[in-house]
Amino acid sequence: MRLLSGLNGPRGPRRPSGPLGLLALAVCAALLVPVSAAGAGQRARAADPTAYDRIVPAPAHTAPGGPGYRLDARTVIRTTAGSAAARGVGELLARALRPATGLALRVSGTDAGGSAADGIRLRLDARAADQGEEGYRLRADGTGVVITAYRPAGLFRGAQTLRQLVPVTGRPVVAGGTVADAPRFPYRGAMIDIARHFFTVEQVKRYLDRLALYKVNVLHLHLTDDQGWRLAVDSWPRLAEHGGGTEVGGGPGGYWTKAQYRDLVRYAGERYVEVVPEIDMPGHVNAALASYAELNCDGVAPARYTGTKVGFSSLCVAKERTYEFVADVLREVAELTPGRYLHIGGDEAYATPHADYATFMGRAQQAVVAQGKTVLAWHQLAGAGPVSGTALQYWGLDRTPAAEKAKVAGAVRAGAKVVLSPADRAYLDMKYDAATRPGLSWAGYVPVRRAYEWDPGAYLAGVEEAAVLGVEAALWTETVATTADADLMAFPRALGIAELGWSPASALSWDAYRLRLAAQGPRLTALGVGYYRAPEVPWA
């Protein structure tokens, strides 16, 4: 028993490495007697003693040790009585555990009853306010697993940790130990551009589902751009019907109905992910201009656009009709969106003179506020009067001139918050290296290590950590046309951005992260993700 608990302890021997070591491990596992006929010792031996060092994002505190818990056909997931939300988390957990374990775990809507040793408990604890919105505690031992949280979102995040403690193949044993965890930043986003290439709700759900395993909690949808308008708007139907009918390269494009958008919002909500819709303005609007002649200063609608240039289109700032359009669109989008933010773009408005840009963005921000929402915009808004409480999404580079960064810092002093998506770190459409297909490289190559090795709390001079809402990994899709393309570009870099958003600064270490990441390889494969096997990661 001493030997066995030593194996599980934090300083236990390292896992055998190399093909021989792995073979020995496999033989040992195969020789183990079934847990039902064995003592806690055998249970412990079957658990991976390093499992707690392999969680992404790294939890705030872990203490591995003691016997593990073996899931079997009798295991029940018991959730706090009277909480449909907790039960919902239980159902999602049961579904997620099924492929790896082969078990169809039963979910019970009460955590009373049962023996002390029959499963997984998801407990809401009204006294655990110190855990905040998303914090949780997890304890696994020979009798079961208990996850406790103040809020259902915390139970959901804890359930993602539990998923990662169950081996992808082999005996479904949760290693013994405890976790006490909560995020560093409240905003841990992923953006997908469905305008340059159209992606269906099903494709985006799949993407979101993979990201939620890594505790991402915001899904930013880039819904409109020069090449396509992707969301139905009842008061301006041609936006989607005409403006949605193409994409980069001239493909058929497409758009989402309101029902489809609502369905995605619901799906995200079940995973405690907030949807942030973006209507990009006053530039990046060719699809809108092509759909309605009256939105053009000269009253002539341009042709639809299928190239990849940026910065050539602008709404007509002088026309009152433009602001009716903005108000109608933002009202309809707000009605569909329970989340706090409306993103109004504001990037690369090179076809809009600065004074016009400031006029336009002022009115667009008022239209957001009128809907009771908070403005989110690309950081160029910093120089044009962001309203108080606005969040600016920084997409500059490490080498962006200090004067431009200083504008962001200045806006922060006046009350703005910041979401960080530095293009040479967090843009998932940048190539890993010269050989990557697809991808762009205007911000440089972004290898996995570069995407990970920066500190969001200290990234912009003059922007204190308290002003940083968090981080966002952005997947632009000029060159990304399929799920396979998206998988290759987003995975594994999106996991690194997710860790930067969640894990305490003290846990951020490339040397430790590359091992944690390597362990996610089989997990991603099991989820059908065709990730990029970055050479700097020792993939299993």
Residues in contact with ligand NGO by CB under 6 A are 310, 347-348, 378, 395, 427, 429, 440, 476, 478
Q: Which is nearer to ligand NGO, 419 or 507 (CB)?
A: 419
H-only helix segments in 53-102: 84-101
**Spatial separation of the C-alpha atoms in residues 279 and 55, rounded to whole Å:** 35
Omega of the bond leading into 538 within 30 degrees of 0 (cis):
no
What's the Cα-to-Cα distance from 408 to each of 70, 309, 510, rounded to whole Å? 51, 26, 28
Selecting among 241, 348, 404, 453, the annotated active-site residue is 348
Whether residue 119 contacts residue 142, with contact meaning beta carbons closer than 8 Å, is answered with no
Nearest to 455 by CA among 496, 413, 495: 496
Nearest residue relative to ligand NGO (C-beta): 476
Smallest gap from Cβ 460 to ligand NGO, in A, equals 16
Smallest gap from Cβ 307 to ligand NGO, in A, equals 12
- Whether residue 340 contacts residue 368, with contact meaning beta carbons closer than 8 Å, is answered with no
Q: Looking at residue 472, what DSSP letter applies? A: E
Pairing of strands 173-174, 144-149: unpaired
Q: How far apart are CA 223 and CA 470, in angstroms?
A: 22
Q: CA separation (Å) from 172 to 59, 118, 131, 235?
A: 21, 15, 28, 53
Q: Cβ of residue 196: shortest distance to ligand NGO, in angstroms?
A: 7
Q: Which is nearer to ligand NGO, 225 or 332 (CB)?
A: 225
Q: Closer to ligand NGO at the Cβ: 302 or 444?
A: 444
Q: How many CB atoms lie within 10 A of CB 9?
A: 15
Q: Confirm whether 133 is a catalytic residue.
A: no
- Using the minimum distance from each CB to ligand NGO, give the nearer residue, 357 or 502: 357
Shortest CB 45 distance to ligand NGO, Å: 49
Q: Please, what is the minimum distance in Å from the beta carbon of residue 378 to ligand NGO?
A: 5
Choice between 149 and 481, CB closer to ligand NGO: 481
The per-type count for the chain, helices as H runs and strands as E runs, is 17, 19
Catalytic positions are 348
